[in-house]
Amino acid sequence: MNDKSGLTPEKWRAIVENDSSYDGVFYYAVNTTGVFCRPSCKSRVPHIDNVRTFPNAQKALSEGYRPCKRCNPDGPLLPDEELCERTALIIGERYHEPLTLSVLAEMCHASPFQLQRTFKRIKGVSPLEYISQKRICEAGKLLAASDETIAQIAAKVGIANADYFSALFKKKTGQTPTSFRQMKREVEQ
């Protein structure tokens, strides 16, 4: 992918999957339309060669792109969206810690019930499921890039029990951590 565009495989995946957890993290613009959007925008997926990314809406505006009328990327987030974005940010930074719904709710100044209901409505998954997804995603990166043991990787992503980690990893990816690591290494060679 073109370095000048700032588009990484992770950002492209977020755009294709309309991943709202990346809203506010970056914005993308389409050269052919002159419009910029949030990653969660439900507009048609643009051709990859026509995409540029920006760290904020102001940068996209200064480069001459117009805000999308569908996702309103330069507008404020609604209070519920702010709660979810704050929660997702905390999870992204602290996924390796023992996070519970109560702990997250306290950090976000919300009740556990409100956080659970709002997060699931906006993100499509519960906060705890989101934590699991983040942990498995980070574990996949570590499995591909390091020679650490499965137990060490499990501990690094916040799962103390290696057997539970292996079962969860297989449930989420369809592969054991060991077979995932072997497959990634074969692909790289």
Q: In a 3-state reduction of DSSP, which class is residue 66?
A: strand
Integer Cα distance of 74 and 87 in angstroms: 21
Which is catalytic among the residues 37, 41, 68, 71? Answer: 37
Both tokens assigned to 32: 């052919």
Both tokens assigned to 40: 């969660």
Q: Would you call 37 a catalytic residue per the annotation?
A: yes
Integer Cα distance of 56 and 49 in angstroms: 20
Report the Cα–Cα distance between both ends of the chain, in Å, rounded: 20
Backbone angle region of 24, left / alpha / beta, with phi > 0 → left and psi within -120 to 50 → alpha = left
Integer Cα distance of 148 and 35 in angstroms: 44
Catalytic residues: 37
